[in-house]
Amino acid sequence: MLQEIAEQPAALAQTITEERGKIAQLGKFLQGRGIDLIVLVARGSSDNAALFGRYLIEITTGIPVSLSAPSVHTIYGAKLKLQNALVIGVSQSGEGEDINRVLEHSRAAGAYTVGVTNEAASSMSGLVDETLLMHGGRERSVAATKTYTGQMMLFYMLAASLADQKPAFDYEAIPDLAARSLEQQPAILELVQRYVFMENCVVVGRGLAYANAYELALKLMETCYVVAERFSSADFFHGPLAMVERHFPVIVFAPPGAMLSGVRDLMRRLSELHADTLAITGDLEVAGSCTRAVILPREIDEFLAPIPYIIPGQLFAALLAEAKGLNPDSPRSLSKVTRTL
């Protein structure tokens, strides 16, 4: 897992190089097709990447994006009207049976289908209209890391190709920012010693950082066996805040941008409750208001933050698992490919 975390800058750069031309052509084709709805279908970490894709595509293009409920297709057999839709399946292996079933049904219903996967020869690649590939090599750890960020990168590229105007981000900068995030590993190795006995926590993020709250919580559950709930910072005020008491651990993603003022309000309230707060942030005010912080460069803006901000979270989960005496590469009861219908 640690090796694959370290491979991410190179994997992201390779994905940009290999897929740039294909995605530019795909964007022109889809703009001419008159797409008025995008549906994303995924499970697990891929579903978290899709959640990020939803925010980014809607903000960048104005096209409504829905996260599919695969059971609507696989269990209930509903027939959806998708003639003007783009349906994107997201799967590290490309072998998720429910994801592929949704893609088959969607294509039959008139949708244009795209597969996002790490495996060029997968079942998914054989049934969609177009395949977008991550180029980071085989991922061996059960816990997804480089495939999660690779999927996010492909969403950056797709959103930019679908936008009518120049987007508010330059994804070309992300591989270098990811490399800078890896420099936090020694600090995080020291930090995790304080959390060896953690059994429960909450992970909070909002907007473009919301997906990372889901992803870090998943990583903590599958590699460290920590019961990790995840919330939007807005939703957290609507009830879940009541479970926070003295020393309760709360991990917060606090990148710069539109959501930062709300995160600052949350940090002040958590401080009043004497919670144990860990912020991943570039904002010194937030860092100063919490118990501990992983401080990233302040020049990482809101739109570029999601990938470099999840990397400290990945390192935290992997190193905490090792500190707990667990093997993050082979979590109990899990396998690399999960098949559900």
pLDDT band at 125 (very low <50, low <70, confident <90, very high): very high
Average pLDDT over residues 104-129: 96
Q: To which residue do tokens 């987007």 refer?
A: 167
pLDDT over threshold 80, residue 192 = yes
For residue 104, is it left (φ>0), alpha (ψ between -120 and 50) or beta? alpha
pLDDT over threshold 70, residue 235 = yes
Q: How far apart are CA 154 and CA 162, in angstroms?
A: 12
pLDDT over threshold 80, residue 285 = yes
Max CA pair span of the chain: 56
For residue 19, is it left (φ>0), alpha (ψ between -120 and 50) or beta? alpha
Do 175-323 and 2-168 fall under one CATH topology? Answer: yes
pLDDT over threshold 70, residue 341 = no
Q: Is the CB of residue 251 less than 8 Å from the CB of residue 201?
A: yes
Q: Where are the domains of the chain?
A: 2-168, 175-323
Pair of tokens at residue 175: 């591989």
Could you report the per-residue pLDDT of 148-179, keeping only the tens digit for each? 999 999 999 999 999 999 998 999 999 999 99
Strands of 112-117's sheet, edge to edge?
65-67, 37-42, 85-91, 112-117, 130-133
Specify the 3-state DSSP secondary structure of 332.
Answer: coil
Q: Is the CB of residue 132 less than 8 Å from the CB of residue 158?
A: yes
| CATH number, domain 175-323, options 1.10.3720.10, 3.20.20.70, 3.40.50.10490, 3.40.309.10 | 3.40.50.10490
Q: 287: Cβ–Cβ under 8 A, 6 or more apart, which residues?
A: 279, 281, 293, 295
Pair of tokens at residue 269: 């309230």
**CATH no. for 2-168:** 3.40.50.10490
Helices (H), the chain: 2-6, 8-33, 44-61, 70-74, 97-108, 146-162, 174-182, 185-191, 210-224, 233-236, 260-272, 284-289, 306-323
pLDDT at site 74: 87
pLDDT band at 332 (very low <50, low <70, confident <90, very high): low
First vs last C-alpha separation in the chain: 28
Closest CA to 61 of 209, 161, 170, 210: 161
